[in-house]
């Protein structure tokens, strides 16, 4: 594959709207320009902070536009005008969401009401939920450990409230707000409608020799976003449907059944969207409900989720994500932690594709360094560990002679 890199030594700017940046002499005028630039940059950061809500909507719109772009492009290739193609994609999404809602809404409302009544009755028993948990630990010979974690359990509601704060903020600000929803949809529409114009305007800022490389990097970044978002939705759908099937079978075969299958499967599907911790948290909630209904239900669900998560981690994720995300597990973990710290649940959802884009840019930088140093050039889509890529990028002619000159 042609990596479309410019010749070694090509300046990054110049020839476009941004003039070529050279190393200036340190003069009074240079100092004034640097200080003015720094103040302007700080002012821009302050402005972005003041408009943080709009910036958040714009980020969501960009990710949605990238995720929907392949479907719009597919319709456009079949002779449908781009604006109409975007409208058809929107209608298809609304039809899917409406169909799913009409299908699960009646049982969802009934089962949610039953689950709330079940939890209310449990809390009204002598000793409340704590008494129920003590009974469960006593059945399995773990009563001695219950007192050790009792203090932690007592603080669980406050912890859940603190953890749910960002989620509630996102829900109120994005999903629950009509203004936010309409704004995001409109931003997504305009980004899809004039995506080529925006890309070309951005590329015009740079040296013409650099534009093929930048266009390739934009395409790879869009592929990473598209692959991750679609893959995450598919895996979450599989997790919810599989859990619903298992709990439905349990409901017909076990004494006491397994009620609330629709509600619990929806919880699994929604929490599975959150990287790393979501699937485990959803499984823990469902298993706990199962144990309250009956010991066989809890044990079966425990075994099922252990097996399913192994299948999801080792089979589904590599199969669905494919080559769209090539990050080390430690990088994924740190990215999710950083995203959650900055933007809550929304940041955790967007952290992995952003980290993958950073990896692509880092790999491209190392590839450029390898060409300058005479080292081995690795593709940005290579699965070679980053430490090996960095080592090869600084290799000399002898290293280059003993290794493949380039990865396809």
Q: What does the mean pLDDT of the chain come to?
A: 76
Asked which of 324, 358, 375 is the last residue of a domain, the reply is 324
260 in the same domain as 320: yes
343 in the same domain as 318: no
- Indicate the pLDDT class of residue 303, thresholds 50, 70 and 90: very high
Asked which of 324, 346, 369 is the last residue of a domain, the reply is 324
- Indicate the pLDDT class of residue 243, thresholds 50, 70 and 90: very high
> Which 8-state DSSP code applies to residue 406?
B
Within a domain: residue 159?
no
* pLDDT tens string 305-340: 999 988 888 888 777 776 667 777 777 778 888 887
370 in the same domain as 318: no
402 in the same domain as 377: yes
Distance, CA of 72 to chain centre: 22
- Indicate the pLDDT class of residue 238, thresholds 50, 70 and 90: very high
* pLDDT tens string 258-296: 888 888 888 898 888 887 778 888 888 888 888 888 888
Within a domain: residue 232?
yes
285 in the same domain as 254: yes
pLDDT above 80: residue 125:
no
312 in the same domain as 234: yes
The two structure tokens encoding residue 159: 């912890």
Report the C-alpha gap between 246 and 238 in whole angstroms: 12
Q: Work out the average pLDDT over 204-213.
A: 84
Cβ–Cβ under 8 Å, residues 221 and 26? no
Within a domain: residue 365?
yes
Within a domain: residue 248?
yes
Domain span at residue 330 reads 326-408
Within a domain: residue 364?
yes
List all residues 6 or more positions away from 304 whose beta carbon is below 8 Å from its beta carbon.
243, 246
234 in the same domain as 303: yes
341 in the same domain as 300: no
294 in the same domain as 244: yes
C-beta neighbour count of 217 within 10 angstroms:
17
Q: Work out the average pLDDT over 56-81.
A: 87
251 in the same domain as 334: no
Cβ–Cβ under 8 Å, residues 23 and 216? no
Within a domain: residue 399?
yes
309 in the same domain as 244: yes
Task: Describe the crossing of helices 329-373 and 386-393 by its angle, rounded to 10 degrees.
Answer: 10
Within a domain: residue 90?
no
336 in the same domain as 320: no
Tally of domains within the chain: 2
Asked which of 287, 308, 324 is the last residue of a domain, the reply is 324
C-beta neighbour count of 268 within 10 angstroms:
26
Within a domain: residue 231?
yes
Q: What is the pLDDT of residue 405?
A: 47
């Amino acid at each position: 594959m042609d990596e479309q890199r410019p010749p070694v030594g090509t300046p990054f700017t110049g020839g476009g709207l941004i003039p070529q940046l050279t190393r200036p002499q340190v003069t009074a005028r240079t100092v004034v320009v640097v200080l003015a630039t720094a103040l302007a940059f700080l002012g821009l950061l302050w402005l972005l902070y003041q408009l943080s809500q709009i910036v958040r909507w714009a980020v969501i719109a960009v990710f949605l536009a990238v995720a929907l772009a392949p479907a719009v492009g597919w319709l456009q290739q079949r002779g449908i005008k781009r604006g109409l193609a975007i409208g058809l994609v929107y209608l298809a999404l609304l039809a899917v969401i409406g169909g799913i809602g009409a299908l699960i809404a009646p049982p969802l409302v009934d089962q949610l009401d039953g689950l709330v009544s079940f939890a209310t009755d449990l809390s009204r028993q002598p000793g409340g939920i704590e008494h129920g948990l003590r009974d469960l630990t006593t059945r399995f010979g773990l009563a001695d450990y219950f007192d050790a974690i009792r203090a932690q359990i007592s603080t669980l509601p406050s912890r859940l409230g603190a953890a749910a704060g960002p989620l509630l903020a996102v829900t109120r600000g994005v999903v629950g707000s009509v203004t936010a929803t309409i704004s995001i949809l409109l931003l997504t529409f305009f980004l899809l409608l004039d995506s080529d114009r925006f890309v070309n305007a951005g590329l015009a800022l740079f040296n013409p020799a650099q534009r093929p490389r930048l266009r390739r990097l934009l395409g790879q970044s869009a592929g990473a976003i598209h692959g991750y978002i679609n893959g995450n939705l598919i895996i979450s759908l599989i997790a919810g449907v599989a859990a619903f099937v298992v709990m439905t079978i349990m409901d017909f075969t076990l004494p006491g059944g397994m009620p609330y299958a629709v509600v619990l499967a929806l919880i699994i599907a929604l929490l599975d969207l959150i990287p790393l911790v979501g699937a485990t948290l959803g499984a823990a909630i469902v298993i706990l409900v199962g144990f309250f209904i009956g010991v066989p239900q809890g044990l079966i669900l425990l075994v099922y989720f252990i097996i399913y998560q192994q299948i999801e981690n080792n089979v589904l994720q590599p199969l669905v994500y494919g080559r769209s995300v090539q990050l080390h597990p430690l990088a994924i973990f740190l990215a999710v932690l950083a995203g959650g710290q900055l933007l809550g649940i929304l940041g955790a959802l967007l952290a992995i594709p952003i980290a993958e884009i950073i990896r692509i840019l880092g790999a491209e930088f190392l590839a450029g360094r390898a060409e300058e140093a005479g080292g081995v050039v690795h593709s940005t889509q290579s699965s070679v560990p980053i430490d090996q890529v960095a080592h090869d990028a600084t290799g000399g002619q002898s290293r280059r002679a003993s290794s493949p000159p380039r990865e396809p």
